[in-house]
Structures are given as structure tokens and as C-alpha cells.
Amino acid sequence: MRNLLAKTLFALLLLANAAFAADPLPSWNDGPAKQSIINFVTKVTKAGSPDFVPVPERIATFDNDGTLWSEQPMYFQLLFAVDRVKALAPQHPEWQTQEPFASLLKGDMKGVMAGGEKALLELVMATHAGMTTEEFDKTVKDWLATARHPKTGKRYTEMVYQPMLEVLTYLRANGFKTFIVSGGGIEFMRPWTEKVYGVPPEQVVGSSIKTKWETRSGKPALVRLPEINFIDDKTGKPVGINSHIGRRPIAAFGNSDGDRQMLEWTQAGDGARLMVLVHHDDAKREWAYGPESKIGTFSDALMAEAKKQGWTVVSMKNDWIRIYPFE
């Protein structure tokens, strides 16, 4: 009997060693970015370490557009709105002459963009409001099942970053709760984040429009209204984190000026912290854009703050072995 116990313990020891030795981030090149993530996780999870953080406090937040999936040639949610306008156009003959719809239906996205924020808001409201939450959920799922990215020809949910999927898994394996905190629409993300990222709907924070309780065909329904409820961007991100999570993250991942305050809020807490910015510098395998970009702006000021504060800047070109899972 003692022999069996010894054998069993030895086998368990081997397994434990193997698990320990396996690289949790195989799509990352060795370097300071990968090392900073592993060092952080190691120290906050080591019992007795001065940096130890109890499991319930292990909160990590991730921006979505440009941090977990691509955002070029424009936010994928905007491509969804464009496709929805085209699909709904037969029911809206007035759109043929009414901006920004007229430009969009002629394929003139520059004309749409010329209308600025007001035009974009009109597009979003025309395509995101007026139906129940369940109808919108189905519309998003149907679109994702058929739509293809104009450049890669892949489904949008395939254009997620393999190295970040590994970070999500690695953090959860170490007792972290992973949240998405995105400027994108909360109801646009929830239908697919659980399947694609392993992040359940209740751990998604985003921008939203108001909803209203109604009885439709004798059944209760929540109807989506053409009215902004909350913009989860810039200073809105800490506000959204406080409202939805109610705890300060100890790790935060972003890629643009819209994530600055989320990282500052994360850093301002006590104890060990991890702040990460993904830098889009890989024109060959993804896109390269920085301060000049209309979306996902990574300003010089943000880069300067990252350096000054010791944040981790990930070079997609140098730090990532693979970009997408399908590669």
C-alpha cells in the first residue's frame, strides 16, 4: 500500500512539473512583454509573497477593439451597421436621399464619415434601436455567422488575437476573473464573447443605449430605444468598471487613447499592478497605425506615459509569433 501511494504521488509530481514547465503563452516571443505578464501573474498568485492577491480580487479588464480582435478598416460594429442599413433599405425608401444613408447605399463611406459623429450616431440608432433585446441578439448572431471581413475573407470572430486568447486562458487558470471593458456596444459583444473569449455576458462592460420594459403580444419585453445610455470610453471606462464590477482591476489591457484612464485607474490601486498596451506596428500580418489613426489612436502622449509609468507596450510585430488562430 505504501508502494502504491508513493507511485501515485510520484506520478502526480510529474504531472504537476509538466504543467508548470509548459509555456502558458506559446504564441509570444520571449522578451520583456511576455516576461512582464508572467512575472506579474507569478508574484500575485504566490502564497506568502508580499505581492499576493486573494482570488476574489484578481480582476483583469480587456478592451476589445484592437486589443482582442482587429478594428480595421473600421470598427467591426460599424461594418455590422453598414450591412444592416443595406439589409433594411427596402423598408426605408427615404434613405435613398437622406444622409448618411444615401452615401452609404452608394458605397461612399467617405461621404458617410463627412457627417462626423452625428452621422455615425444616426447609423447606430437606425440599426441598433427599435427592436427587443432578444431580436437584436439574434441579428448580431446571424450577421456573425455569414459576414466576412473585406480584406481577409475570414469571419470577424476568427480575427481575434491568438496571443491574447492565451493571456485570457492563462489568467483564468490562475484564478483571475476576466472582463471586457469596451467602447463598443455591450449588446453587440455579449452574443459571442463567451464562445470566442470565454468571457460570459455578465463580465462584459460596454457602451449602451437605453431599454424600456414593454408588454408585447402578452409577454414582457425590453425594447431598445434610440437614446444613449452610457459611453464606455476614456474617463467612462473607470466609471463603467466601478458601476459593473465594483472593484478596481489589478491588470488592464488596452491599445489606444480610449484606454488611458482605465490603465491609470488600475495603476492607482495598492499593490502589484499590470498595465499593457498593444501596439499595432505590423503592417504585413495585421495593420500598422498610430497617432495619425482615426480609430484606435495610439498618440505620442500615450506612448510617453506608458514609458514614464512603466506600462508594458506589446509590439505585435516583434512580440507575437502568430496574430490570428487560423494562421
Shortest spacing between CB 327 and a copy of itself, in angstroms: 29
Q: Does 190 bind a copy of itself (CB under 8 A)?
A: yes
Burial letters for 9-20: b for 16+ Cβ neighbours within 10 Å, e otherwise?
Answer: eeeeeeeeeeee
Q: Does 128 bind a copy of itself (CB under 8 A)?
A: no
Shortest spacing between CB 151 and a copy of itself, in angstroms: 31
Q: Based on CB atoms, which residue is closest to a copy of itself, 151 or 216?
A: 216
300-309 vs 260-267: helix axis angle to the nearest 10?
A: 10
Q: Based on CB atoms, which residue is closest to a copy of itself, 125 or 239?
A: 239
Site string for a copy of itself, 16-35 (x = CB under 8 A): --------------------
CB of 67 closer than 8 Å to CB of 254: yes
- Interface positions, 191-220, toward a copy of itself (CB under 8 A): 194, 200-204, 208, 211-213, 219-220
Q: What are phi and psi of 272, to 5 degrees?
A: -65, 140
The total number of residues written for the chain in this structure = 327
Order of strands across the sheet that contains 219-230: 219-230, 204-216, 177-185, 59-62, 251-254, 274-279, 312-315
The footprint of a copy of itself on this chain (CB under 8 A) covers a number of residues equal to 36
Q: Does 261 bind a copy of itself (CB under 8 A)?
A: yes
Number of C-beta neighbours around residue 56 at 10 A = 9
**Residues near a copy of itself, by CB under 8 A:** 1, 4, 56, 59, 133, 177, 186-187, 190, 194, 200-204, 208, 211-213, 219-220, 222, 229, 235, 238-239, 242-247, 261, 264-265, 268
